[in-house]
């Protein structure tokens, strides 16, 4: 059940190796040189209009405000928790100190 199942050996495709074709050496001639054209991009460039730029800036600003609000609220929650733990520690210390008298 836990042993691996290997395919039979005869299912592998046969490996064929061909020799590279030998060609004549390339001779440079200034008359036969033609510059290659620039490659055409496969995707068109993004066109930003004034409206789309404004929407993008507004969306980025809204994202910054939301992330900032979340981070500030988390920091505030940690600060309130720390203050309440400190008050509880002082109260428990005061109760234990008064019991010793």
- For 12-63, what is each residue's pLDDT tens digit? 667 777 766 666 666 666 665 667 777 776 777 778 888 999 999 999 999 9
* pLDDT for the residue 25: 65
Over residues 77-93, mean pLDDT: 96
- For 57-83, what is each residue's pLDDT tens digit? 999 999 999 999 999 999 999 999 999
Residue 71 C-beta-side C-alpha neighbours within 13 Å? 6
From residue 90, how far is each of 97, 100, 101 by CA, in Å? Answer: 10, 16, 17
* pLDDT for the residue 4: 83
């Amino acid at each position: 059940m836990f042993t691996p199942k290997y395919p039979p050996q005869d299912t592998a495709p046969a490996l064929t190796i061909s020799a590279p074709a030998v060609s004549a050496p390339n001779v440079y001639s200034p008359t036969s040189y033609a510059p290659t054209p620039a490659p055409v991009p496969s995707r068109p460039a993004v066109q930003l209009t004034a409206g789309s730029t404004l929407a993008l800036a507004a969306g980025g600003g809204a994202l910054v405000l939301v992330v900032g609000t979340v981070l500030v609220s988390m920091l505030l929650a940690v600060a309130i928790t720390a203050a309440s733990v400190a008050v509880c520690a002082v109260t428990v210390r005061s109760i234990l100190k008064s019991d010793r008298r």
